[in-house]
Structure 1
Amino acid sequence: MIKSMTGFGRGEAQDTQRQFTVEIKSVNHRYNDIVVRMPKRLTYLEEKIKDLIKNEVKRGRVEVYISLENTGEGDTKISLNRSLVSQYYQCLQEIKASFEVKDDISVSALSKFPDVFIIESREEDEDEIWQCLKGAVVKAIEMLMKMRQVEGEKLAEDIVGRCEYIGSIIKTIEKKSPEIVQDYKNKLRERITEMLEDTIQIDDSRLSMEVAIFADKSSITEEVVRLNSHIGQLKKSLEEHQPIGRKLDFLIQEMNREINTIGSKSSDLEIVNHVVDVKSELEKIREQVQNIE
Structure 2
Amino acid sequence: MTGYAVVTRELPQGSLNLELRSLNNRYLDIQFRLPDELRMLEGSMRELLVARLNRGKIECRVNFLSSVSTENLQHINSDLLHKLLKLNQVVRATLPDAGSLDVADVLRWPGMLGSAALPVADLSGPCMELLGTGLDELAAARAREGEKLKLILLERLARIRRLAAEAVPRIPVLITAFQEKLKARLCEAMISCDDDRIRQELTLFASKIDVDEELSRLQTHLDEVERVLSKGGAIGKRLDFLMQELNREANTIGSKSVDAEVSKMCVELKVLIEQMREQVQNLE
Tell me the TM-score normalized by structure 1: 0.78
Counterpart residue number, 2:133:
139
Deviations 1:65-110 (A, max 9, x none): 1111011644972499xxxxxxxxxxxxxxxxxxxxxxxxxxxxxx
SS at match of 2:233: coil
Aligned mate of 1:255, from 246, 269, 280:
246
Aligned mate of 1:31, from 27, 31, 38:
27
Distance 1:171 1:258 in 2: 15
* TM superposition outliers: structure 1 runs of 4+ over 6 Å: none
Segment drifting more, 10-19 vs 239-248: 239-248
SS at match of 2:15: strand
Deviations 1:121-169 (A, max 9, x none): 5598655312322343233222211111111111111001101110111
Aligned mate of 1:164, from 151, 158, 162:
158
Matches within 5 A, 1:81-96: none
Deviations 1:255-287 (A, max 9, x none): 111111111111111111111111111111111
Unaligned runs of 5+ in 1: 81-118
Is the contact between residue 13 and residue 135 of structure 1 (CA under 8 Å) also seen in structure 2? Answer: no
Amino acid at match of 1:28: N
Aligned mate of 2:42, from 32, 43, 46:
46
Change (3 A) 1:44 1:75: farther
Q: Measure how far apart 1:54 and its partner are.
A: 2.2
Counterpart residue number, 2:282:
291
Aligned mate of 1:280, from 265, 271, 284:
271
SS at match of 2:283: coil
Change (3 A) 1:125 1:38: closer
Is the contact between residue 6 and residue 27 of structure 1 (CA under 8 Å) also seen in structure 2? Answer: yes
Q: Measure how far apart 1:42 and its partner are.
A: 0.9
Counterpart residue number, 1:151:
145
Deviations 1:241-264 (A, max 9, x none): 432222212211111111111111
Amino acid at match of 1:150: R
Change (3 A) 1:121 1:278: closer
Distance 2:134 2:269 in 1: 40
Matches within 5 A, 1:41-190: 41-71=37-67, 73-74=71-72, 77-78=75-76, 122=116, 126-190=120-184
Distance 1:194 1:142 in 2: 76
Is the contact between residue 33 and residue 62 of structure 1 (CA under 8 Å) also seen in structure 2? Answer: yes
Amino acid at match of 2:210: S
Equivalences, count: 249
SS at match of 1:286: helix
Unaligned runs of 5+ in 2: 79-112
Tell me the TM-score normalized by structure 2: 0.81
Higher RCO (Cα < 8 Å, 6 or more apart): 1
Counterpart residue number, 1:109:
none
SS at match of 1:154: helix
Q: Measure how far apart 1:240 and its partner are.
A: 2.8
Is the contact between residue 37 and residue 120 of structure 2 (CA under 8 Å) also seen in structure 1? Answer: no
Segment drifting more, 210-219 vs 126-135: 126-135
Is the contact between residue 75 and residue 121 of structure 1 (CA under 8 Å) also seen in structure 2? Answer: no
Distance 1:239 1:277 in 2: 25
Distance 1:79 1:164 in 2: 68
Distance 1:266 1:29 in 2: 36
Is the contact between residue 26 and residue 282 of structure 2 (CA under 8 Å) also seen in structure 1? Answer: no
Q: Measure how far apart 1:201 and its partner are.
A: 3.4
Cα-Cα RMSD = 2.3
Segment drifting more, 272-281 vs 64-73: 64-73
Aligned mate of 1:205, from 172, 185, 196:
196
Counterpart residue number, 2:224:
233
Q: Measure how far apart 1:185 and its partner are.
A: 0.7
Residues 1:9 and 2:13 are matched in the alignment? no
Amino acid at match of 2:215: V
The structure where helix makes up a greater share of residues is 2
